[in-house]
Structure 1
Amino acid sequence: MSDHVQDQDAFRAAASRLVAARHPHALGALLGGSAAQGRATAGSDLDVAVLLPEGDHSGREVVRHEGRVAELFLNTVADLPEFFAWDRARRRGTVLFLYDQGLPLADPHGHVARTRALARQVLASGPAPLTPEEREYGRYALTCYTDDLADLADLRAPGGAICTDPATRYEQLSVADHVLREAAHLLTAHRGAWTGIGKWLPRRLLNADPVLGEALLDGHRAVAERADPVPLAAAAEQVLDLLGGPLREGYGHRWKP
């Protein structure tokens, strides 16, 4: 047996012990995240979905188990349809993907199998599209951030010398983060694809649009490594072009309490 399989078995065993200790009445459970995909490292946490009977409470718990951080995604069977609808609406599908890609730990009554089937049905329908208001706000926000990034590019020394001023570098890095996140949000929505945060942002972005996604990520790296905002600003402008172009004057919205 390879070390890879042994490590995965060890994670499954640890997750099973965790569920038995904290939720012995659970209807079923599965292991998700890096551990389920064979990508876990020494510092990886445990992502565990736990199905609970009616009368219990849905939620999330973060605990330390056998020296490792573990995050438990708790859902009652009755709450699942509404929860999955909410997970789809925010377009990240965190728990939906956990059930789709996770490894069952226990399923004595078939609840996990039925839940996985429901999750896959919701995932197949794709993420919820942006509303017109969300789309226009996204265009406006990305336009503002891209304009800021272009202004910071103009501060480079003649000949394109790397900017060494600490205050300007802080601003470049902060604005670049906002440009990447907003552009990824809009591009994945435009492609009808799921989005993500943290390490899942580049994964989902590249899956949605390998060419433009890579241009955004390479542009972000250019800001970090070379203090050069130009490639990221150019990639963000391509995203805006897909959505009707930059949006500045003419944008407005009403505040709704």
Structure 2
Amino acid sequence: MDARTAPADRARALADDRFPHALGTLLGGSAATGRATATSDLDVVVLLPEGETSRREVIRHEGRPAELFLHTLADVPGHFERDRRLRRGTILFLYDQGTVLGDPHGHMARLRDRARALLAEGPPPLAPAEWERGRYVLTCFLDDLNDTSPDDRHDGYNRYDRHEQLVLADFALREAAHLLTAHHGRWTGIGKWLPRRLLAADPVRGGELLEGHRAVAERADVGPLAMAVERVLNLLGGPLREGYTQRWDG
């Protein structure tokens, strides 16, 4: 039996029970791509008639959590556009990669086509000011990360702090991933999707960032991550420190 059959049946039963008036339903997430685990929740997209309220709702179905993405036809374009601005494409990928469970009027098929077209276009490019701020912020994280060396002492006080080091490694990875995916015109992600999107955009540099992050987590060794971050910065024009200016609007 296909690993996706049981989740699809559960999602269909959930939608039929709670939303019998739905204009279309779709199973997304790991359950639709065959990557579900024993504790994975159900990600279910439900198209609702006009007059309903678009929302994201988490419920428990058959003893397990289910995350519902409840959209009306009029509101879907707005969700797609917000996804583009965030550069993550979360909702777009739901429509693109999900398994259609019901589509009596063809709405879901048309929305999937639109989502796929937007994904193929890629996220909007960063503005010049965004690039400069990104380089500056990543440079700051890099400098602070390098300052967490266990041998770094000032006036006899050991400034090495493991908690700070781990947090800085996390932020350096996130910012570097944001800039590197943007450099390639590719989608980024958060949580488990950050390494997946990062490796899809740049297997070599993305892999170096992830392995560098692992070195900090496992061995408190900032060297590999610092080198990987420097490679990303050099790709984008180099570290940015003095000379950076940010205008305060409003």
Give the alignment's TM-score, normalised by structure 2. Answer: 0.94
Tell me, yes or no, if the aligned pair for 2:29 and 2:42 is still in contact at 8 Å: yes
Equivalences for 1:160-239 in 2 at 5 Å? 168-239=161-232
Tell me, yes or no, if the aligned pair for 1:26 and 1:53 is still in contact at 8 Å: yes
Within 1, Cα distance between the matches of 2:106 and 2:113? Answer: 11
Residues 175-196 of structure 1, C-alpha deviations (whole Å, 9 max, x = no match): 0000000000000000110000
Tell me, yes or no, if the aligned pair for 2:47 and 2:73 is still in contact at 8 Å: yes
Structure 1 unmatched runs, 5+? 158-164
Q: Equivalent residue of 2:74, what SS?
A: coil
Tell me, yes or no, if the aligned pair for 1:29 and 1:106 is still in contact at 8 Å: yes
* Partner in structure 2 of residue 138 of structure 1: 134
* Partner in structure 2 of residue 71 of structure 1: 67
* Partner in structure 1 of residue 113 of structure 2: 117
Structure 1 residue 116 displacement after superposition: 0.5
Structure 1 residue 156 displacement after superposition: 3.6
Within 1, Cα distance between the matches of 2:79 and 2:240? Answer: 34
Tell me, yes or no, if the aligned pair for 1:90 and 1:128 is still in contact at 8 Å: no
Structure 1 residue 127 displacement after superposition: 0.8
Which one-letter code corresponds to 2:137 in the other structure?
A: A
Within 1, Cα distance between the matches of 2:46 and 2:196? Answer: 25
Structure 1 residue 167 displacement after superposition: 6.4
Identity of aligned residues (%): 66
Q: Which runs of 4+ in 1 moved over 6 A?
A: none
Q: Does 1:29 align with 2:25?
A: yes
* Partner in structure 2 of residue 108 of structure 1: 104
Tell me, yes or no, if the aligned pair for 1:54 and 1:78 is still in contact at 8 Å: yes
Aligned residues: 246
RMSD: 1.6
Q: Equivalent residue of 1:17, what SS?
A: helix
Tell me, yes or no, if the aligned pair for 1:57 and 1:75 is still in contact at 8 Å: yes
Q: Equivalent residue of 1:137, what SS?
A: helix
Within 2, Cα distance between the matches of 1:128 and 1:177? Answer: 25
Q: Does 1:80 align with 2:73?
A: no
Give the alignment's TM-score, normalised by structure 1. Answer: 0.92
Structure 1 residue 166 displacement after superposition: 11
179-188 or 49-58: which moved more?
Answer: 49-58
Residues 90-141 of structure 1, C-alpha deviations (whole Å, 9 max, x = no match): 1100010011000001111111111101111111111111122221111111
Structure 1 residue 250 displacement after superposition: 1.4
Within 1, Cα distance between the matches of 2:55 and 2:159? Answer: 42
Tell me, yes or no, if the aligned pair for 1:100 and 1:120 is still in contact at 8 Å: yes
Within 1, Cα distance between the matches of 2:212 and 2:121? Answer: 32
140-149 or 244-253: which moved more?
Answer: 244-253
Within 2, Cα distance between the matches of 1:220 and 1:179? Answer: 9
Within 2, Cα distance between the matches of 1:103 and 1:14? Answer: 13
* Partner in structure 2 of residue 160 of structure 1: none
Q: Equivalent residue of 1:152, what SS?
A: coil
Within 2, Cα distance between the matches of 1:29 and 1:217? Answer: 36
Which of residues 42, 46, 50 is equivalent to 2:46? Answer: 50
Within 1, Cα distance between the matches of 2:164 and 2:33? Answer: 37
Q: Does 1:240 align with 2:220?
A: no
Structure 1 residue 170 displacement after superposition: 0.8
For the structure 1 residues 67 and 244, does the alpha-carbon distance in structure 2 shift closer, same or farther, using more than 3 Å as the test? same
